[in-house]
Structure 1
Amino acid sequence: MNKLSFSITYEAYEGLQELDERDQSLCKDAVKALKTSWSPYSNFKVGTAVRLSGGEVILGSNQENLAYPSGLCAERVALFTIGASRPDAVIETMVITAHTDNFKITTPVTCCGACLQVMAEFERKQGKEIEVLFYCIDGQVLKVQGIKSLLPFVFVEKRLENGAEQIYPL
């Protein structure tokens, strides 16, 4: 038996003012995305802003459904929008934020496992890591480079790829 471990490196900022202008702007865009959240059941709004390599920003927000499994997280709304409308786009940075009127959110909200898996697929597709910021409104910001830092045992099954390894070498 081998006992193994892994560690991640991330940056922690006390607030928005510590970020550069581009990241501050992207955090503000994620807050704007909260306005389109459809979350009447949980009353927990999630917004994301995704910056593409050309500078374009795509927004996403969580979309709930009375039949809970039919809803979709903000991250996947934005990513699938990019995949469907800009299939060759390269994602540089994503910001995820959240808000609820039910309680004060005091720490950054992170992604669910399903969103991390989709984010990992986009990294594989584009052959480049995605920078991810988790922004707590009026609070801390965490910055991580690459999805493998967040999901080290990402699902990969080479036999399902049918040559995709030549297309997506990451």
Structure 2
Amino acid sequence: MKKIDVTTSFWVYGSEDELPNDVKPLMEQAVAIRKKAYAPYSKFRVGAAILLDNGKVVVGSNQENAAYPSGLCAERVAIFQAGALYPEAQILKIAISATSDEKPVESPIPPCGACRQSIAEYEFRQEKPIELYFMGEVGEVYKSDSLQNILPFHFDKKFL
């Protein structure tokens, strides 16, 4: 038997104001679209904005459904829309922001497991890392240089 150590690194920005100039407007769009989330059950609103290599930005917000788990997270709404509208484009960056109608969200909220797997599919397909920026409603913003930092043992087509 042997032990495998997995380490990862993140960049931490003190607030949205500290983000690089090319990321600030992307996060602003994630914040704006989260306000349009359909979240009557969880009261937890998430927005995602994706910057593509063709300069287009695609956004998504979480969409819930009384018949769980029929809803979709903001990240998957945005990434699937990007794949449908611009199938040849590569994803450069994803900005994610989350808030709650019931309490302040001050910690960065990363993508859930299903969203991580969906992002992994696109990162694997394009053979280029996708930068992820995620935050709560206010406070620190975490940056991951690649999806592999938050999902080191991902499943992809090479296993099929």
Shorter-chain TM-score: what band? over 0.9
Q: Kindly state the Cα deviation for residue 101 of structure 1 after the two structures are TM-superposed.
A: 1.9
Q: Over residues 119-149 of structure 1, what are the superposed CA-to-partner deviations in whole Å (9 max), with x where a residue is unaligned?
A: 0000111111100001233310000011111
Tell me the CA shift for residue 157 of structure 1: 5.0
Distance 2:156 2:98 in 1: 29
In 1, Cα distance between equivalents of 2:95 and 2:136 = 10
| 2:37 paired residue number | 37
Structure 1 runs not aligned, ≥5 long = 161-170
- For 1:145, the equivalent position in structure 2 comes to 145
Q: Which runs of at least 4 in structure 1 moved beyond 6 Å after TM superposition? A: none
1:17-166 correspondence runs (5 A): 17-158=17-158, 160=160
- State the 1:110 CA deviation: 1.0
* Identical aligned residues as a percent: 43
1:159 Cα deviation (Å)? 5.1
1:22 Cα deviation from its structure 2 partner: 1.3
Tell me the secondary structure at the aligned position of residue 69 of structure 1: coil
Amino acid at match of 2:84: A
Larger fraction in helix = 1
TM-score (norm 1): 0.90
Contact 2:124 2:156 in 1 (8 A): no
Distance in 2 of aligned mates of 1:126 and 1:156: 13
Aligned length, in residue pairs: 160
Q: Which amino acid aligns with 1:98?
A: A
- Displacement of 1:69: 0.7
